[in-house]
């Protein structure tokens, strides 16, 4: 995967998902929690053990 593809994925995995842990996104719903999400699709990762995954994010991330 080229750096131009990796960087946006890292940004989403680190910054966007990190910030979402404490942000209510404008309503009273709890923030999405995904404690084991990582961006790099080149990683041949094992199945998640206990991740709670926001289904909307699954298409862009790989879960460790």
Residues at the interface with other proteins (CB under 8 A): 3, 6-7, 10-11, 13-23, 31, 33, 35-40, 42-45, 64
Q: Between 2 and 55, name the residue whose CB sits nearer to other proteins.
A: 2
| Closest to 11 (Cα-Cα) out of 53, 60, 52, 64 | 60
Q: Between 35 and 58, name the residue whose CB sits nearer to other proteins.
A: 35
Q: Are 9 and 41 in contact (CB under 8 A)?
A: yes
| Closest to 17 (Cα-Cα) out of 41, 34, 40 | 34
Least distance in angstroms from the C-beta of 40 to other proteins: 6
């Amino acid at each position: 995967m080229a750096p131009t593809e990796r960087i946006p994925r890292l940004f989403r995995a680190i910054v966007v998902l990190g910030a979402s842990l404490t942000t209510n996104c404008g309503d009273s719903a709890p923030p999405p929690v995904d404690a084991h999400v990582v961006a790099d699709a080149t990683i041949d990762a094992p199945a998640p053990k206990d991740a709670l995954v926001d289904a909307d994010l699954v298409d862009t991330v790989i879960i460790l």
